[in-house]
Structure formats: structure tokens, C-alpha cells
Amino acid sequence: MLRGIRGAITVDEDREDAVWSSTRELLQSMQAQNGFAPGDIASVFFSVTPDIKSAFPAVAARAMGWDKVPLLCFQEIDVPGALVLCIRVLIHVNSSKSQDEIKHVYLKGARSLRTDLADNQPPGSAGS
């Protein structure tokens, strides 16, 4: 079964190292909470808000060893009043888990995007 796992995280400022370290933090949390290996991943879509221009989040995934995974980065729609400095991700994984068993991960300021999901995350996943 192919499942989608959503996640998002914010960065304090638009710098390469901040984009890569925050992306790595998010991907590691998503992987730990959902128990998948890189070989289980069908594809990953990353999006960034228009104020992030310094780096591609996919570089962090490649550095984690996701070198055979199809990755795509694109820019979010620039909606007035939307959350800024945000990296979003959608990971498609082959999994036997049901939709209800999938853990979506929202860290740092991105917790505000889905408080219904972020509030159910285990302690220590706040990504402060």
C-alpha cells in the first residue's frame, strides 16, 4: 500500500545550514515516528515558502543517504498572511500501516498549521 506522510518545519532565517539542518530534523522525526527505510520511499515532494531561497531541502535528504529516492522541490503559493520561513514535505512510502497509523509531523512554528496533529505527537518531538 502506498501512503502519504505529511510534515512541516520552520527555520529561523533563510540560510543554507538552517534549511538543511531543519529539513534533516524533520525527515529524521518523520522516519522515526513511522518506521520506514529509504528503500520504502516511492518519492518525496518538498515545498518552501517564497522567502526561502538559499538552499534546496532535497540536499539534506541526499546527505541522509536517500540517494535513490526521487525528490522534487518547489515553491508554495505566496498567500498573504501565510506562515513564513516554512519547509513542507510529502513523503510517499510503501507501508502496510493503515491511514490511521501514519504519524504526520509538524515541528517548531509549523505546529500551527495542524494543531490537531501536532498536539498528538509524542513528547520531545516539538523541535524547539
Q: Which residues of 114-126 are buried (b: 16+ CB within 10 A; e: fewer)?
A: beeebeebeeebe
Q: Which of 3, 86, 88, 111 is catalytic?
A: 88
Q: Which of 62, 86, 101, 111 is catalytic?
A: 62
Q: Which of 3, 73, 86, 111 is catalytic?
A: 73
Q: Which of 3, 6, 13, 24 is catalytic?
A: 6
Catalytic residue at 24? no
Catalytic residue at 15? no
Q: Which of 15, 76, 86, 111 is catalytic?
A: 76
Catalytic residue at 3? no
The closest alpha carbon to 24, from 62, 78, 51, belongs to: 62
Distances from the Cα of 36 to the Cα of 39, 41, 78, 93, 102, angstroms: 8, 8, 32, 8, 11
Is residue 9 packed enough to be buried (19+ CB in 10 Å), middle (13-18) or exposed (0-12)?
buried
Catalytic residue at 16? no
Query: What does the CA dihedral 74, 79, 82, 85 come to, rounded to 10 degrees?
Result: 30
Q: Which of 3, 86, 106, 111 is catalytic?
A: 106
Active site residues: 6, 62, 73, 76, 88, 106, 114
